[in-house]
Amino acid sequence: MGTPPVTVDGFVREFLHELNSNQGVSLSNSSVNDQYMALASTVRNYLMARWLETERLQRENPHKTVGYLSAEYLLGRQLGNDLLSSGLIDIAEEALNQCGIDFAVLRAQEVEPGLGNGGLGRLAACFIDSLATMNVPCIGYGIRYEYGIFRQTFVDGRQVEQPDSWLSLGSPWEFAHPEHGVQVNFGGHTEKTVDENGNEKTTWVPDWNVLGVPYNYMVPGYLNGRVNTLRLWSAQATKAFDLQIFNSGDYADAVRAQTFAENISKVLYPEDSTPQGKELRLQQQYFFVACSLHDFIANQLEEGFDLHKLDERIIFQLNDTHPVIAVPELMRILVDEQGFGFDEAWEVTQKCFAYTCHTLLPEALEVWPVSLLGRLLPRHLELIYQINDAFLEDVRAKFGNDEMRVRRMSIIAEHPERSVRMAYLATVAGSKVNGVAALHSQLLRDKVLPDFNEMWPMKFTNVTNGITPRRFIRLANRSLSTLISDSIGKGWVNDLERLRELEPYAEDAEFRKAFREVKAFNKERLARTLEQRDGIQIDQNHMLDVMVKRLHEYKRQSLKVLHVVTLYNEIISGRLDPADVQGRTVVFGAKAAPGYKMAKDTIHLINKVAEVVNADERVQGKLHVAFPANYNVTLAEKLIPAADLSEQISLAGMEASGTGNMKFALNGALTIGTDDGANVEIREHVGDENFFLFGMTEPEVADLGAKGYNPGSHYEGDERLKGAIDLIASGAFSDGDRRVFEPIVSNWLTSDRFMALADYASYMDAQAKVEASYADEDAWTKSAILNIARSGFFSSDRSMKDYIREIWHTMPVL
């Protein structure tokens, strides 16, 4: 540790010292992994003093803390971020140079911790970054999955999942604290007793338990000397399990028990936007919130702290419903362990939670069968019933004996199976409920939780999502960052509204030229990356048209495929003269949930279309499709800065916010998008003339759905659409086998739940406008610059200010 290595020489010394003492090698016989580990330790050591200082400050002068409860954190690589935050990035690069080491090679050695599926997990990572940068006390709580989101590969164009063993080469960013392990109980039954004062007391008698071991990660703020903590829990067998080894005499059985315990944090469920109703998933959820609540109450509060005032010290933010079981857990702690009365405990609990909803899809709302919950967490189920009884009494008091309403609002659903509606529990318990973009929050009030909105209109609020400019601009797009800083100074990195000062530069020919050079540089970098990583070649003179996000029907990758196949079909059939076509490379990146057949079929289709299109000389130089496997944060950081066009084409009313859309706009890509999620606000900020809007609005979608949607009529009524679908149906992309994509084709023609066909014509028109605009280089560049200049609102720092003002009422600590 010792003195910070602020000079290049000092950094070299520290680095070599780490290489020798930690890795046990000299520079000359060190591997890239040794060098990466030593560099990581050097940065870590530098941040350590600040981490301990942040902890000391909090201990001596405790402030209200945000307890961010999230089952996912999609962190991305740590090395670059931690160097940037500590102001050491240039020094480190120079120091490694002196050692004859290429910094980029060491950065590439890091396996990103993929402890999340997509947007929701990435949002959590952006938020904790912003809170640290804004000096707000926060502990991020989550699960240290041994295997994160699967590594995607393609075999014959189909997705094949490989385990993500991100820990196999060592994880230099974590600090394990087995001595602070927390016992977590499961199963058993409850017992009622009456104490000497005649009060009924309930005791939970569990029948098995596991140990939660905390792993701490640094969350450094940007150049402010603050380092917050991310605490991820890992499941281990408890001593009780070890004892069984002796008692049972069956060694193999005992080891199996050990494995059973460790399974809880073994793997991230790869479902995004659809919950997995598996018992292990509920175990994971309870496991991490039980550890986290215990940690906060037992370790972060001073001894003897009066828990009636708990809300003065913590606000637990529920990132979707995954951590909602924390609500009855806090009730259990207060009532059973601390002797609170139910009402008294409920009053405290309601002030300590707030809930963020991330969806509008009915199938994405999590429910747990009462039978399962009662078996795994019998005491929690009792408390949920009690919460529900009290709540429904309030409903009756407010609305009279409107039993239909009572049934609609009950936390317990009766059909198709008696279950707990986790979103309702969160809404009843939360001091606030927020959606993640203006449109989404409105729809949440009007369509998902209208009865609750009627009961508590003040509970509902909006916080539009954001992204951290540190990772997604400053780190990912260094050349753009330099251009911006050279023009308006460096202040924008933690004050993103200052990008406004770039507006006049849109009119500056010199600046536009420099901006185009930045794009060209990023395209070249991407081309090199894709060549190395996937053996994919891309034409750097093409318009780069990018659609990267999880594969889901509502996001409508299939609409994008229809566009590609239409272009292809129009050219090869001679209806479109290739000379009139702007060269375009369409890049897809998307993982599908392993059990989601339609999504996996779509991946297969994209790969087969790419194969055929890329091999056809008739479209050479005009149309190219690239689908690099395993889209993740690391690839996003390369792809987004190179993009010209950002595809945000979900059916209106389906995408809660989107954050990919924000990353693209802030890197100077123009959006083609529907009036959905945060697209609405992006368009408002950047201006209609700098955004390609298409498709039905949400009310139009609702109308069409109510009237009865007939996709076949769109197919019959549009020659180009019919041509594209027929070409796919003909087997042109499946070696003549018409069966391969039959499920996709018949879905389009008979159901098309997300109305791709209804928006097709409008989408094609908007793409024609894109093409015309791109031909005017200066006009396009101006729009791109204005997209950057006017998107400062989409910083996650702004999201955090909104949460603080509307929901948390916490203060920065200076």
Ligand X SMILES: *Cc1c(COP(=O)(O)O)cnc(C)c1O
Round to the nearest angstrom and report the end-to-end CA distance of the chain: 25
Q: Which of 459, 519, 563, 663 is catalytic?
A: 663
* CA–CA dist 397, 407 (Å, integer): 15
Q: Which of 550, 552, 556, 720 is catalytic?
A: 550
Q: Which of 358, 591, 600, 638 is catalytic?
A: 358
Kindly tell me which of 44 and 549 has the beta carbon lying closer to ligand X.
Answer: 549
> Which residue, 639, 555, 540, is CA-closest to 596?
555
Give all strands of the β-sheet with 367-369 in edge-to-edge order. Answer: 367-369, 419-421, 412-413
| Cβ count within 10 A of residue 91 | 19
Q: Give the helix/strand (H/E) hosting 802.
A: helix 796-803
**Is 122 one of the binding residues for ligand X (CB under 6 A)?**
yes
**Is 81 one of the binding residues for ligand X (CB under 6 A)?**
no
| Interacting residue with ligand X among 330, 426, 493, 633 (CB under 6 A) | 633
**Least Å from the CB of residue 550 to ligand X:** 6
Residues 490-529 as x/- pattern, contact with ligand X by CB under 6 A: ----------------------------------------
Q: Exposed/middle/buried for 572, CB within 10 Å: 0-12, 13-18, 19+?
A: middle
What are the C-alpha distances in Å from 571 to residues 340, 575, 580?
74, 6, 10
Q: If you search the block for the tokens 């009402």, which residue do you land on?
A: 343
Q: Is 116 left (phi over 0), alpha (psi -120 to 50) or beta?
A: beta
**Is 119 one of the binding residues for ligand X (CB under 6 A)?**
yes
**Is 659 one of the binding residues for ligand X (CB under 6 A)?**
yes
Q: How many residues does the chain have?
A: 814
**Strands (DSSP E) along 70-224, which ranges?**
73-74, 114-115, 138-143, 151-155, 158-162, 174-176, 182-186, 189-194, 200-205, 208-220
Q: Which of 77, 470, 549, 563 is catalytic?
A: 549
For the CA atoms of 415, 416, 420, 423, the dihedral, rounded to the nearest 10 degrees, stands at -90
Kindly tell me which of 15 and 68 has the beta carbon lying closer to ligand X.
Answer: 68
**Least Å from the CB of residue 200 to ligand X:** 49
* CA–CA dist 253, 337 (Å, integer): 34
* CA–CA dist 295, 298 (Å, integer): 5
Token readout for 691 is 């955004």
* CA–CA dist 807, 799 (Å, integer): 11
**Is 658 one of the binding residues for ligand X (CB under 6 A)?**
yes
**Least Å from the CB of residue 367 to ligand X:** 24
* CA–CA dist 325, 414 (Å, integer): 19
Q: Which of 585, 659, 781, 810 is catalytic?
A: 659
**Least Å from the CB of residue 741 to ligand X:** 24
**Least Å from the CB of residue 633 to ligand X:** 5
Residue 12: half-sphere exposure toward Cβ, Cα within 13 Å: 12
Contact yes or no for 158/604 (Cβ under 8 A):
yes
Kindly tell me which of 74 and 409 has the beta carbon lying closer to ligand X.
Answer: 74
Please list every residue from 132 through 191 that binds ligand X, using CB under 6 A: none
Stretch that binds ligand X, among 185-193, 571-579, 656-664, 740-748 (CB under 6 A): 656-664
* 358 part of the active site: yes
Kindly tell me which of 317 and 679 has the beta carbon lying closer to ligand X.
Answer: 679
* 549 part of the active site: yes
Token readout for 6 is 């602020």
| Interacting residue with ligand X among 275, 430, 628, 660 (CB under 6 A) | 660
| Interacting residue with ligand X among 4, 5, 113, 118 (CB under 6 A) | 118
> Which residue, 356, 359, 380, is CA-closest to 370?
380
Q: Exposed/middle/buried for 294, CB within 10 Å: 0-12, 13-18, 19+?
A: middle
Kindly tell me which of 219 and 547 has the beta carbon lying closer to ligand X.
Answer: 547
Q: Which residues have CB under 8 Å from 630's CB, separation 6+? A: 151, 152, 153, 591
**Is 628 one of the binding residues for ligand X (CB under 6 A)?**
no
**Is 455 one of the binding residues for ligand X (CB under 6 A)?**
no
What are the C-alpha distances in Å from 281 to residues 150, 284, 709?
17, 5, 36
Strand partners, 190: 204
Q: Which of 555, 604, 624, 798 is catalytic?
A: 555
**Least Å from the CB of residue 644 to ligand X:** 17
* CA–CA dist 608, 598 (Å, integer): 15
CA 631, 635, 638, 640 dihedral sign is: positive
Kindly tell me which of 335 and 603 has the beta carbon lying closer to ligand X.
Answer: 603
Kindly tell me which of 380 and 555 has the beta carbon lying closer to ligand X.
Answer: 555
Q: Which residues have CB under 8 Å from 601's CB, separation 6+? A: 741, 743, 744
Kindly tell me which of 481 and 659 has the beta carbon lying closer to ligand X.
Answer: 659
For the CA atoms of 131, 132, 137, 141, the dihedral, rounded to the nearest 10 degrees, stands at 80
Angle CA(298)–CA(304)–CA(307) in degrees, nearest 5? Answer: 75
**Least Å from the CB of residue 120 to ligand X:** 8
**Is 711 one of the binding residues for ligand X (CB under 6 A)?**
no
Kindly tell me which of 76 and 792 has the beta carbon lying closer to ligand X.
Answer: 76
**Least Å from the CB of residue 62 to ligand X:** 34
Give start and end residues of each alpha helix (H) in 323-399. Answer: 326-332, 342-352, 370-376, 378-399
**Is 636 one of the binding residues for ligand X (CB under 6 A)?**
yes
**Least Å from the CB of residue 546 to ligand X:** 10
Kindly tell me which of 360 and 745 has the beta carbon lying closer to ligand X.
Answer: 360
**Least Å from the CB of residue 122 to ligand X:** 4
Residue 267 is classified by DSSP as B
Kindly tell me which of 161 and 402 has the beta carbon lying closer to ligand X.
Answer: 161
Stretch that binds ligand X, among 115-123, 152-160, 285-293, 493-501 (CB under 6 A): 115-123
**Is 666 one of the binding residues for ligand X (CB under 6 A)?**
no
Token readout for 724 is 């594209």
**Least Å from the CB of residue 669 to ligand X:** 12
**Strands (DSSP E) along 640-772, which ranges?**
645-648, 670-673, 692-693
**Least Å from the CB of residue 506 to ligand X:** 26
Kindly tell me which of 135 and 152 has the beta carbon lying closer to ligand X.
Answer: 152
| Interacting residue with ligand X among 632, 667, 747, 787 (CB under 6 A) | 632
Q: How many binding residues for ligand X (CB under 6 A)?
A: 13
* 663 part of the active site: yes
* 405 part of the active site: no
| Cβ count within 10 A of residue 64 | 16
Residue closest to ligand X when measured from CB atoms = 660
**Least Å from the CB of residue 663 to ligand X:** 6
**Is 668 one of the binding residues for ligand X (CB under 6 A)?**
no
Residues 536-565 as x/- pattern, contact with ligand X by CB under 6 A: -------------xx---------------
* CA–CA dist 373, 282 (Å, integer): 8
Stretch that binds ligand X, among 118-126, 428-436, 455-463, 783-791 (CB under 6 A): 118-126
Kindly tell me which of 119 and 469 has the beta carbon lying closer to ligand X.
Answer: 119
| Binding interface with ligand X (CB under 6 A) | 118-119, 122, 549-550, 631-633, 636, 658-660, 663
> Which residues carry out catalysis?
358, 549-550, 555, 659, 663
